[in-house]
Amino acid sequence: MFHYLKGIRAELYRKRGQRLLVKGINDQAVKCFRKALSLSENPENVFNLGLGLLSAMELEEAEGYLSQVVEEFPEHEISVLTYFEVLILQEKWQAAIEQIEKLCQQYPENIRYKEFCAMASDVVGREKYRHEKILSHEAYQFMRQRKYGEALEKYIAALEYLPEDLELINNIGYIHLILNEYTQAYSYFEKALQLDPGNRKVRQNMAVVKNKLRK
């Protein structure tokens, strides 16, 4: 009965942590994942803690947990991709290349994995990717604090590294929308829709800004 109750508590902490992670409340999510892991040391709880630590940019500790999962489940795609991300952000290039090459070998038709493999092997490309991720993380933290001017600066700096990144372009447009800068917002949403005309989130943002411009 005791072990059963521990399992239920672990599940509650896991679900709470996942909800917090989706909302971007990374520090609280990590606390929940730690509690879940202390109650049940199953691979899912290990992975969740590693993912939470990555989202909080606690990279060295995240690597430790994610490496455990990848070692036990080397064919689990999400775990390998998350581990790859941690390695890239820490500039552990060769280790990152080895991980993504394994996925390319397992899934030779996967275009996304091929792109990641090419990026990791490209000295310039991998630095651009790394800088963009770090700047985007900093921007999101400013967004949570409602420091929209600072967030905008970080996102624009990140866009210099990946100028056709849909999420970045949409985020910049969204900040302009929040700041009532509707013409600038329209420009960014328009560019985002050129990259992905069917993207629901961008289309919704565009509908909002068009309505604002009509008034």
When computed from its CA atoms, the radius of gyration of the chain, rounded to whole angstroms, is: 19
Q: Is 157 exposed, middle or buried (0-12, 13-18, 19+ CB in 10 A)?
A: middle
Q: Which amino acid is at 26?
A: N
- Domain edges within the chain: 2-90, 132-214
- Going by C-alpha positions, the residue among 114, 96, 94, 115 that lies closest to residue 106 is 114
> Superfamily assignment of 132-214 in CATH?
Tetratricopeptide repeat domain (1.25.40.10)
pLDDT at 135: 96
> Under CATH, what is the fold of the domain 2-90?
1.25.40
pTM of the model: 0.85
pLDDT at 202: 95
Phi, psi for residue 90 in degrees, rounded to 5: -95, 5
pLDDT in tens, the chain (215 residues): 556 677 789 999 999 999 999 988 999 999 999 999 999 999 999 999 999 999 999 999 999 999 999 999 998 999 999 999 999 999 999 999 999 999 999 999 999 999 999 999 999 999 999 999 999 999 999 998 999 999 999 999 999 999 999 999 999 999 999 999 999 999 999 999 999 999 999 999 999 999 988 87
pLDDT at 23: 87
56-65 contacts, C-beta under 8 A, 24 or more apart: 56/26, 56/27, 56/29, 56/30, 57/89, 57/134, 57/137, 58/30, 59/86, 59/89, 59/90, 60/90, 62/86, 63/87, 63/90
Written as six digits, the tokens of 65 are: 């947990």
* Identical topology for domains 2-90 and 132-214: yes
**Distance (Å, whole) CA 212 – CA 116:** 39
**Distance (Å, whole) CA 186 – CA 171:** 12
CB 65 within 8 A of CB 53: yes
The dihedral built from the CA positions of residue 119, 165, 62 and 90, taken in this order, carries a sign that is positive
H or E stretch including 85?
Answer: helix 77-89
**Distance (Å, whole) CA 137 – CA 154:** 9
pLDDT at 75: 87
CB 198 within 8 A of CB 167: no
**Distance (Å, whole) CA 25 – CA 10:** 19
Q: Residues with Cβ < 8 Å from 178, sequence gap 6 or more?
A: 148
